[in-house]
Amino acid sequence: MLITLLSDLGLTALFAFALSQTYQVWPPTHALPERLLRAALALCAALILALHEQASGQASGLSLVAVALVTLRYGPLYGLPGLLVALLPGVDPDRVALQTAGVLLMATVLRPVVRVDLPPGARLLWTAPLIFLGGHLAGAVTAPPRMAELLPGLTLQCAALALIMAAVHSRLKILSASYTYREQAYTDALTGLPNRRQFADDLGRIEHGDHLLVLDLDHFKRVNDRHGHAEGDATLQRVAAALRATLRSQDTAYRIGGEEFAALLPRTSPDEARLIAERCRDAARQHPPHPPLTLSGGLARHGLRDDPVTTHHRADDALYAAKEAGRNRVLIAPPARAVPAAPRDPWQVLRGTLGSLPDQEFGPNEWSALLRAACESVPDVQGGSLYVPEKGDFVMRAQIGFDDTLLGDRCPPAAQRAWYTLNETDWVSGQPRVLRGYAVETAAQRTTELAWSDGVQVNGAWRLQDIRETLGVPVTDDGHVIAFLNLDRFTAGAAFDAAAQELASDAATQIARILAGRARRAREQRRTRELEALVQITGALRDARDMAGVTAAMNSMSHVLLEARQAVYLQYDPASDTLAATGLYGFPEAIRETRLPRGQGLSWMAVKARDVIRVNDLHADRHAPNLLTVNGQAGLFAPMFSHDRLLGVMVVIRDAPFGEDDAQLARTLAAQSVTATERAERIQAIQDGREGILIALGRALEARDFETHGHTARVVNLALTVGQAMGLSGAHLAALRDGAYLHDLGKVQIPDAVLLKPGPLDDAEWTLMRAHSLAGEDLARHIPGLNPQALKLIRHHHERWDGGGYPDGLRGTAIPLLARIFSVCDVFDALTSSRPYKHAWSVEEAVNELRREAGHSLDPEVVEVFLDHLPGPPDGPWHAESALPRPDVTDM
């Protein structure tokens, strides 16, 4: 029983598969031959299933399923042949005929409700049982069915019907999806016209007497430049609509390039084709309010023995002739020569073209002529491009068969090598390579990934999916790749055989002869630029002693060497794990508040890559910085590491794209800046250590004298504040700081009995005490690197404005300025500090005392500056370390 059931379902599945294979296209067609085929297939299935029932001895009734299915789809007329099952030997003819008639009747009645081409749904749950129940009831006239057999039979028949309908629907779904994907692959997304891929396929089927019309928009680049790309796209859509409306129903229009269209005109006389071409040109022209626009065209008739590609070339030649004749016209290509031309040297055109090119300069016309000569020298080439190294990147200078918007497209060296796919030896020796099918897609994907990782956007005008076969040849000279030649085909087939590769290599050799001098000069200029840049960078960073100097030199070199419009150094802050803007060039001051958390933006991407990242269109990159502060199109991000320690990121902004040469200059500048930063850090560490020693000496002197703890630090802080207010230079501030720390250094030579005497000093003791300033100067001279101005402060900090001081009795401005500043600060701190022999004065009392002494013992100008920068309460003890911030003397 189980084996019989499985065999029945197997036969049903076989029928379902066979029926689904009769659907070959989308939308499905139902012409009379196809209807008859499916009806015959249903009859065969019914007969086979009936015979199988007889052989197995089990009456499953599955033969009625085929009758029901064809009736539901095409009507009772196509289901009537199912009655032939009643003629089979060994069956009950009356019962089978009645059952078949019942199914035919119910299927006809329910036909408007059931759709065979739709997936089985809820509606089938009640319609299918009704269809087959009608057959069973009709057959009951001869022999009533038993309920034990009726329910399983109905279930099996309904399941078989659902199985067949599901198979048909799955087949139709596959056809629909294939149709959709093909439409997308063969249709231009902007205009809705068939694209170049469809054109290449249809061109291969062109017949004798058909015409090919090629149209190109005149000065279309002006429309994009003056009105924007949105208006350019709208213009292309209007042209496409005009071509659709003008062409006949049997004609087909295509968009085969950026602003290039084509039309195939089957079974057309020359006069009629000429009229259609002129109507297309007139219909597609634009008038105000739209931007003015005209078209040029070339028309070619396909001859009996013409090759489709040759016909396309003839139409293209006529188009170029129309352009040269003044545009806004259609020219007819002369017929192809009936007798093949005598074989000629394949390099004749190439040598003629190359011989006319100037050796020193190449413009768009020269590059285009060079590529066209190379394409014409290799058979079956349908498109191509020529890339030339400029500023380290490979830049497209000519194209055929693509879009002029690709001109200027930049490809980083690593991405160009990925497109080539072969090894380094083959690359520098100029070995040709051929890619076909999936290999083209794989190489294109890898090329795109490397271009994006290098920050170079891939132009969307590349239609890599249209390339079926590509032949690439590095153009080499003296071990250097000086250009890269791409030769492409857009139709299927393997045309680039060994002979074609040899011709392409010969073409590359001819190109190398033309470009060799230019390439050598470019290499010499690049080496000169690198050496000059190294000298400039070294000189700029040589004298930088701190981070401010290093940053200023980096920004200056970014402007000079990389033509920066803006530059900023993002210094790494380990405490917050952020990049903070420090040195600015061309950026608003508000950006100093910017902090980039780890992982945010292109700067952190450069840190992660540990290499320079360049982005030539910041407005198109989602990782780009805040464009409100960016005043340029391209950005370069160079990370700086000291071994494995991140220092920061150098950011450079400008309008022109950055090439690999610029990236190499940035690497050199970053490396030299790292060295300068490390040197500045060592200098700062030495200065910090030196200041620590001076602080220790000052505190040691405090501990030996009556001075309170912190006196030296307070006086240093006050003196630096006054010095900055008076506009002292960094060097003088440093001397003021050092002298303040060491002002009482000479007291180490005074005996404790004198220094710590509680009562008044006698004359001899005063003479000894007054000698400490001279002794301090003499001791300080032995400290290496101490500024002479600091020595003067140590010597003269007890001089008086009125000349009554010591050791030299100097008066007024003859007293060194640093000593005058220190004296005011020293007196103020002494007055406001407690000593064993006195209480601390209030600030108000000390201020009044300073005013009284101004012009007597103290410099009145210094006193006024001091009082102007003295915050704090008018009375109470004075705490300089809390009342005044520590001045920044990092530039000393």
The residue-averaged pLDDT of 538-559 equals 81
Distance CA 474, CA 416 (A): 10
Which residue segment(s) compose the domain that 260 sits in? 196-332
Q: At 385, phi and psi to the nearest 5?
A: -155, 155
In 3D, which of 138, 65, 133 has the Cα closest to residue 95?
138
Least confident of 632-636, 695-699, 840-844: 695-699
Strand order in the sheet with 578-585: 595-597, 578-585, 566-573, 645-654, 634-642, 613-615
Q: Which two tokens stand for residue 650?
A: 């150098």
**Does 40 share its domain with 81?**
yes
- Over the stretch 372-414, which tens digit does the pLDDT of each residue have? 888 888 888 988 999 998 878 899 999 988 888 888 888 888 8
According to DSSP, residue 137 is labeled H
The residue-averaged pLDDT of 82-100 equals 81
**Does 173 share its domain with 203?**
no
**Does 874 share its domain with 744?**
yes
Q: Choose the final residue of a domain: 332, 347, 370.
A: 332
**Does 325 share its domain with 293?**
yes
At residue 366, the pLDDT reads 77
Least confident of 17-21, 220-224, 738-742, 874-878: 874-878
The residue-averaged pLDDT of 161-174 equals 85
At residue 824, the pLDDT reads 94
**Does 162 share its domain with 200?**
no
Position of tokens 């160079």?
638
Strand order in the sheet with 393-400: 410-411, 393-400, 383-390, 480-489, 469-477, 433-436
Distance CA 72, CA 108 (A): 7
Instruction: Mention every residue, 6+ apart, whose C-beta is less than 8 A from residue 266.
Output: 207, 210, 250, 251
More confident residue, 55 or 767: 767
232 part of a folded domain: yes
- CATH number, domain with residue 584: 3.30.450.40
pLDDT of 872 higher than 90: no
pLDDT of 435 higher than 60: yes
694 part of a folded domain: no
pLDDT of 703 higher than 70: no
Residue 364, exposed/middle/buried by CB under 10 A (0-12, 13-18, 19+)? exposed
348 part of a folded domain: no
CB 18 within 8 A of CB 69: no
Q: How many CA atoms lie within 13 A of 460 on its CB side?
A: 3
CB 295 within 8 A of CB 206: no
CB 322 within 8 A of CB 298: yes
- CATH number, domain with residue 215: 3.30.70.270
**Does 871 share its domain with 722?**
yes
More confident residue, 139 or 661: 661
Residue 770, exposed/middle/buried by CB under 10 A (0-12, 13-18, 19+)? middle
The residue-averaged pLDDT of 204-221 equals 91
Beta bridge partners of 584: 568
Distance CA 638, CA 643 (A): 15
680 part of a folded domain: no
**Does 134 share its domain with 170?**
yes
**Does 212 share its domain with 179?**
no
At residue 185, the pLDDT reads 76
- Over the stretch 598-618, which tens digit does the pLDDT of each residue have? 988 899 999 999 999 988 888
820 pLDDT tier (thresholds 50, 70, 90): very high
530 part of a folded domain: no
Distance CA 175, CA 163 (A): 19
CB 157 within 8 A of CB 61: yes
In 3D, which of 287, 211, 213 has the Cα closest to residue 243?
213
The residue-averaged pLDDT of 125-149 equals 73
Check whether the bond before 807 is cis (ω within 30° of 0). yes
**Does 227 share its domain with 320?**
yes
Q: How far is CA 450 from the centre of its chain?
A: 10
pLDDT of 429 higher than 80: yes
**Does 519 share its domain with 560?**
no
Q: At 726, phi and psi to the nearest 5?
A: -90, 5
Instruction: Mention every residue, 6+ apart, whose C-beta is less than 8 A from residue 625.
Output: 601, 602, 603, 618, 635, 651
| Strand 295-301 to 330-332 pairing | parallel
- Over the stretch 25-40, which tens digit does the pLDDT of each residue have? 888 888 888 888 888 9
- CATH number, domain with residue 733: 1.10.3210.10
The residue-averaged pLDDT of 555-565 equals 83
Distance CA 171, CA 173 (A): 5
Distance CA 203, CA 281 (A): 21
**Does 209 share its domain with 81?**
no
343 part of a folded domain: no
CB atoms within 10 A of CB 274: 16
Distance CA 525, CA 548 (A): 33
More confident residue, 846 or 8: 846
CB 69 within 8 A of CB 38: no
Q: At 647, phi and psi to the nearest 5?
A: -95, -40
**Does 561 share its domain with 517?**
no
353 part of a folded domain: no
Distance CA 493, CA 502 (A): 18
Distance CA 50, CA 157 (A): 13
Q: How far is CA 681 from the centre of its chain?
A: 36
355 part of a folded domain: no
Element spanning 217, H or E: strand 211-217
Total of domains in the chain? 5
772 pLDDT tier (thresholds 50, 70, 90): confident
In 3D, which of 246, 249, 311 has the Cα closest to residue 276?
246
In 3D, which of 792, 777, 793 has the Cα closest to residue 716?
793
Nearest 5°: CA angle at 402, between 398 and 403? 80
**Roughly how many angstroms between the first and final C-alpha of the chain, as a whole number?**
104
At residue 887, the pLDDT reads 47
Stated length of the chain? 892
At residue 783, the pLDDT reads 82
Q: Which two tokens stand for residue 123?
A: 């509606």
| Strand 260-265 to 295-301 pairing | unpaired
Side chain identity at residue 40, one-letter code: A
pLDDT of 12 higher than 90: no
